[in-house]
Structure 1
Amino acid sequence: MNGLRVASLLAATMTTGLVAGVYGTYANAVMPGLAKTDDKTFVGAFQALDRAIVNPLFLGLGFVGALLFTALAGLLSLKEKALPWIAIAFVLYLITMILTIAVNVPLNDALKAAGDPNTIDVAAARAAFNESKWVAFNTARTILAVISFGFLGWALYLTGKSAAQP
């Protein structure tokens, strides 16, 4: 049981870190880079990025996996000192998922549904996308995911520390 507890906590930490890194990359490189492009480039590139990220590896193992691994780690750590940190990490990460599903995904889907950048009014599609709203909510989910990752790292430290004690 101890091995499964540690493995689930390690998986939770790694997958949460992966998702925090993706959000952070969008916050620090993707969106600032796209912000400097013309409307056609923005719409086409964003549509392509969004289509690419919707894949089983990221969505299943990363996005959903982080929550499931954190829940499993918490259930297997009910009597451990790490539990409060795992629980807080779970709640913070759950909030990132809610923000993603409630705000970012609908904006992404609307931009994809706008159509081919070669045949639509790309200025209108970009304006309807509401870049500033997308960026603000991505910043929030980035911060929450990074904090969640940090709490899971702390929980991993506490788990290792308690395992080392006689």
Structure 2
Amino acid sequence: MRALTTAVSITAILFAGAIFGFFYAWVCSTMWGLDQADPRVAIQAMQAMNASVRNAVFFPAFFLTPVVMGLSAFLILRSGQKTSAAFFGAGALVYLALGLLLTAAINVPMNEALALVVVPKELDAAQEIWTDYSSRWQFWNQTRTIASGIALALAGYGLARLNPNRA
């Protein structure tokens, strides 16, 4: 049981770190770069990136992070380590609510609406579309970045508190 608990807990940390890194990269490079580009290019690039992100490589970190964190919490709780389990469980809930569900409720609908936009030839019209989209999208992306960072930190602390002789 100890080997399973350790493997699942480490997987939870890896998934949480991967999704935090994914969101963080959008914060500190991708969106800033798109904001500096011609807005017509930015819209087209964002449409292409949003279409390509739904893939098998992205799936585990995005969708399975709360599952693996929750499973870690369950396995750790079964070994009698309530504090460590609580940190993994809290991480799962934070990411589920403010990472996955927030994305589904806000970022995905914004991305789907942008996908329907025909990129205007006029620079001013494209700038208006991009500025409106980018500012709102970045606010919510920063929210899910912070949340996924908190989830990662909670799981990391839960792992640090784990007594390997009892897992």
Report the equivalent of 2:87.
85
> 1:4: how far off?
1.1
Report the equivalent of 2:114.
111
Report the equivalent of 2:16.
16
Give the Cα–Cα distance (whole angstroms) in 1 for the partners of residues 57 and 159 of structure 2: 24
What is the identity, as a one-letter code, of the residue corresponding to 2:139? A
Alignment of 1:1-166 (within 5 A): 1-59=1-59, 61-78=60-77, 79-80=80-81, 81-95=83-97, 96-115=99-118, 117=119, 122-123=126-127, 125-126=129-130, 130-159=133-162, 162-163=163-164
SS at match of 1:103: helix
Give the Cα–Cα distance (whole angstroms) in 1 for the partners of residues 140 and 120 of structure 2: 28
The TM-score, its normalising length taken from structure 1, stands at 0.88
The TM-score, its normalising length taken from structure 2, stands at 0.87
Q: RMSD over aligned Cα, in angstroms?
A: 1.9
Give 5+ residue unaligned stretches, structure 2.
Answer: none
The question of whether the paired residues in 1 share the 8 Å contact of 2:2 and 2:164 is answered with no
Give the Cα–Cα distance (whole angstroms) in 1 for the partners of residues 114 and 129 of structure 2: 6
Deviations 1:88-107 (A, max 9, x none): 10111012111101111111
Q: State the 4+ residue runs in structure 1 displaced beyond 3 angstroms.
A: 117-125
> 1:130: how far off?
2.3
